[in-house]
């Protein structure tokens, strides 16, 4: 959003929850997730409650003002009585056949992805099937930690943006200002029974990696060319000597 300020507000009283990376609400469950240089500003509410239901507005202090309202619905889970009678007979009415197709994740792109140090990369994970919980990202077997820019890495940051419904979810993991420690295996895991995760390997190329490879290739081609030239001149010299001897013998016979 360049230099524009992005804020999240709670309707209908338009109380400011966050503005920029600053949180104004006293509710510690609410934070904003943003990576320096990225265009996403994600409002995260942990341990949601029924009273969190309602409308939330995202505002950008542009001229004219840009805003977008989203509605959040929180549903309460209820434990149902057992559908079986005292003698173990099923008394629950219609039986619903559950799908046996497993929930499966897929990370778009090749299994090994390379990116130069300092660049930004987004890994997109698509999940199909029944999703009962969230979508988790892991790096080298550990949960991915969301981070913002630090003094040592002013443009670095990690953010996750997930869109989902009952049968499909798309989760995007964005790493900006990548460093060598960001290399390794990333796994996208749906929180569902018998879910099949997906993994991809990220390789961070340090400065000069491409030029060194090109230089090595150039040296190899130069060496091959020089070897061919030496063989050609040897053959030419041998042919010249043969022609001289042949001409000499021919003159003697005549």
For residues 194 and 102, the answer to whether their CB atoms sit within 8 Å is: yes
Architecture of domain 104-205 in this structure: Sandwich (2.60)
* Low-confidence stretches of the chain (pLDDT beneath 70): 1-3, 76-101, 130-132, 147-156, 166, 193, 208-254
For residues 192 and 103, the answer to whether their CB atoms sit within 8 Å is: yes
Closest among 10, 37, 1, 7 to 23, alpha carbons compared = 7
The residues that bridge with 253 in the sheet, in sequence order, are none
Q: For the chain, what's the residue count?
A: 254
Assess whether the region 6-72 and the region 104-205 belong to the same CATH fold.
Answer: yes
Q: How many CA atoms lie within 13 A of 34 on its CB side?
A: 20
Pick the CATH number of 6-72 from 2.40.50.100, 1.20.1090.10, 1.10.230.10, 2.60.40.10: 2.60.40.10
For residues 131 and 103, the answer to whether their CB atoms sit within 8 Å is: yes
pLDDT, residue 155, reads 53
Region of residue 162 (left: phi > 0; alpha: psi -120 to 50; beta: else): beta
CA 111 to chain centre: 12
pLDDT, residue 13, reads 85
Structure tokens at 230: 């030496």
pLDDT, residue 245, reads 55
Q: What are the strands of the beta sheet with 15-19, ordered from one edge?
A: 22-23, 15-19, 6-10, 54-60, 66-72
Phi–psi pair at 212, nearest 5 degrees? -65, -40
Q: What element of type H or E holds 176? A: strand 168-176
CA 225 to chain centre: 43
3-state secondary structure of 246: helix
Structure tokens at 163: 């869109």
Structure tokens at 121: 């990369």
DSSP for residue 144: P
Domain ranges across the chain: 6-72, 104-205
pLDDT, residue 3, reads 67
Statement: the pTM of the whole predicted model exceeds 0.75: no
Residues 182, 203: Cα–Cα separation, whole Å: 8
């Amino acid at each position: 959003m360049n230099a524009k300020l992005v804020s999240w507000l709670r309707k209908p009283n338009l109380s400011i929850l966050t503005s920029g990376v600053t949180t104004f609400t006293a509710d510690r469950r609410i934070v904003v997730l943003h990576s320096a240089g990225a265009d996403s500003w994600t409002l995260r509410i942990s341990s949601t409650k029924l009273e969190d239901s309602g409308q939330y507005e995202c505002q950008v202090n542009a001229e004219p003002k840009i805003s977008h309202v989203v509605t959040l619905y929180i549903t309460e889970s209820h434990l149902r009585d057992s559908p079986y009678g005292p003698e173990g007979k099923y008394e629950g009415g219609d039986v619903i056949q559950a799908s046996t197709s497993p929930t499966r994740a897929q990370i778009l792109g090749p299994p090994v992805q390379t990116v130069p140090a300092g660049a930004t990369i987004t890994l997109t994970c698509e999940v199909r099937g029944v999703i009962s919980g969230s979508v988790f990202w892991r790096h080298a077997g550990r949960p991915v930690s969301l981070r913002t820019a630090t003094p040592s890495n002013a443009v670095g940051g990690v953010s996750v943006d997930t869109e989902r419904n009952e049968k499909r979810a798309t989760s995007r993991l964005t790493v900006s200002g990548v460093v060598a420690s960001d290399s390794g295996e990333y796994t996208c895991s749906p929180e569902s029974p018998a879910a099949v995760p997906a993994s991809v390997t990220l390789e961070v190329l340090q400065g000069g990696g491409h030029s060194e490879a090109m230089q090595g290739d150039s040296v190899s081609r130069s060496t091959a060319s020089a070897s061919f030239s030496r063989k050609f001149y040897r053959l030419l010299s041998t042919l010249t000597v043969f022609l001289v001897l042949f001409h000499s013998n021919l003159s003697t016979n005549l």
